[in-house]
Structure 1
Amino acid sequence: MTPQLLSIPFHASILAENDAGASLASGDAREVFPLASVTKLFTAYSALIAISRGLVTLSAPAPYPGVTLEHLLSHASGMAMGERAITRPPGTRRIYSNAGIEAAADMLEEATGTEIGRWIEETIAEPLGLTSLTVEGSPAYSGYAHAEDLMLFARELSRPTLISAELLDLATSVHFSHLDGIVPGYGNFRPCPWGIGAEIKGEKQAHWTAPSSSGKTFGHFGQSGSFLWVDPLSGERAVFLGEEPFGPWHRDNWSALNEEILHAMRGQ
């Protein structure tokens, strides 16, 4: 089934489903696309696996004064977007930072004794059977996968098998809840809730997720024109991959597209 109301002006792949058994598919679900920042979800989840195995903790100190692994993974460290420079005191502003995720990955490599791309492969891709997933460069934005594998991962984020439900609930709750910040491409939010790796919708308006999705909805989108989101309250989830990098079409239409996806599934 394909959304009927909104025309996507480029080649794309969509998968969506809910716990009631409804599903939606459009495009080639096995065509590999770049994930861009959706990669962060895999890096953060691999951190949760390391935590579950007692190899590291969220409170582990980073090599920056007052910064912990929790700060880095929730964009609360004060680190700049693209360089490892602390520009604000930790815990005072939600500064979206690729450099922060890369610093967190360095901590994971030290804790696990394994290169981060290999750690993601061993702890997530292999157990879940994600045959297309690769993370060969930056753990913040270099991943590739197809929609079928992204949906397998979205199911793991709905009903975890690699970590406990309690740990996933902790990770997808808001960390440093008072912080304001910017969601790239969508503007400033006060507050700007984030979990461990995953953005949390909260009370954000003019957001990329569907207006009717709950405030508990979490996920990520990427500058490659990709997204993955899960609504734990409604039991709904969706992934999107496309050939067009994030731009005006995505910003102006993703929310409406996600709403149509939900309406289509709820009408089945």
Structure 2
Amino acid sequence: MLKTKAVFERKLDCFQPQDCVIEAIEELSASKFKDFCENMLADRDFIADRIGDMYLDGNGVQHGLLVLCEDTDDAVLVDSSGYSYGRYTAFLPNFRPYVNLQISLLADEIIRDSTQKTENGNWEISFDEIEERYGVGTLLLNALSASDEVAEIEPMEDSFDITYYLDHCPKCDGQQGKDSPQSEAQTAPAVKLRDLLHTKWEDLHLIHHEIENEPSTIVELDESTLTEAGKEAWVDVLNADVLRIYTGYYGLQMELAGVKASRLDAFSSMLAGYCSVQDYEKWVNEPGDQPSQAPEMKL
């Protein structure tokens, strides 16, 4: 048995759906979305802020604001027609999967276009360009951040500043011909961080090979530091490629690739105690379970 929601019309002779364009998206918490749906004629600041995005154009196309809920797939499309409440509204059940798909396709298009053009791994795309070329800019940040090609993304005042992993950027130096058989034959398999944890590392700093970061000091790290849950949660960091180990600005430094810089920073901060007590106890072995004493929690 399949369940959904619908608004029924009594004795409707025929459906008359209108062509619509979603100009903007507003995502509400479950409680705010419930209040919005139960008080549709109340004035809303988020509608007032986007009055210019909602109108009926000369071709009869309805331009509106899509209101999503964080906890459900249902949505409401709003055309306020110059007012600060939902003067014209349409209920759209199970609509979030469609939105997620479209946002994912937009993110793929941006990444495909910019990785082919960048010559240094960096690319900036303005919110105006996103609006002009791709329509809806909201929700793109998470979709872009989740991409394997993106090393780091920073939302600026009027743009996204994106840094890509260089192996996805064919115009970057040293990338041409890297997939040739000769190149593969000359490249030794990379050593993973997890491969080196049979040795106890003290006062270690994890450095990203492309993105400048300020790592927290890992007091001790070896194969007994993490619990099984911790190894699972941080598998991407443990599987990072170790490029070199050296004494640098921070002391003992390990340069890693194949992992996001933000994840390296989060991993180091977690081991330094900058996380919730619940997460620390879940991911890091208790002092009695490993030879060394865990760092003091910093809350």
Q: Same fold (TM over 0.5)?
A: no
Greater per-residue strand proportion? 2
**Which of the five TM-score ranges fits, normalised by the shorter chain?**
under 0.3
Instruction: Please say which structure displays the higher CA radius of gyration.
Output: 2
